[in-house]
Amino acid sequence: DAGVIQSPRHEVTEMGQEVTLRCKPISGHDYLFWYRQTMMRGLELLIYFNNNVPIDDSGMPEDRFSAKMPNASFSTLKIQPSEPRDSAVYFCASSLRGPSYEQYFGPGTRLTVT
């Protein structure tokens, strides 16, 4: 079975540009999570969805970040406008049983904002 799929794997953009990260969860998993990983702050949960509905977005840094899940097999994380401090690796993860149970991570998108 395919795991969590993310695209692109690498993104380099200039400050002020819009960035869209994409994720396809494991089929049948009703929970989808977006994380950000940096050296300074480690792994941070940004938002998670259950059955395509955002449940907890308290980790979203600011209004420049938005996430959507239009259907069970696709989610996007958008940053507009992007800033250099947004440079990080962004992971998508999915779970069958819930946010407190095992989560399966995608390979990540390495974002560099210059």
Question: Is residue 109 classed as helix, strand or coil in its secondary structure?
Answer: strand
Give me the least distance between CB of 33 and other proteins, in Å please: 9
Stretch binding other proteins (CB under 8 A), from 17-25, 38-46, 62-70, 75-83: 38-46
DSSP character at residue 25: P
Asked if 84 and 16 touch (Cβ cutoff 8 Å), the reply is no
Q: Cβ of residue 39: shortest distance to other proteins, in angstroms?
A: 10
Place of tokens 């210059």: 114
**Strand 53-56 with 74-79, pairing:** unpaired
The smaller minimum CB distance to other proteins, of residues 9 and 16, is found at 9
Q: Residues 63-71: contacts with CB within 8 Å, 24+ apart?
A: 67/34, 69/32
Q: Which of 34, 49, 65, 91 binds other proteins (CB under 8 A)?
A: 91
Under rule CB under 8 A, residue 34 binds other proteins: no
Using CB under 8 A as the criterion, which residues of the chain lie in contact with other proteins when the complex forms?
Answer: 4, 42-43, 45, 48, 55-56, 91, 93, 98-108
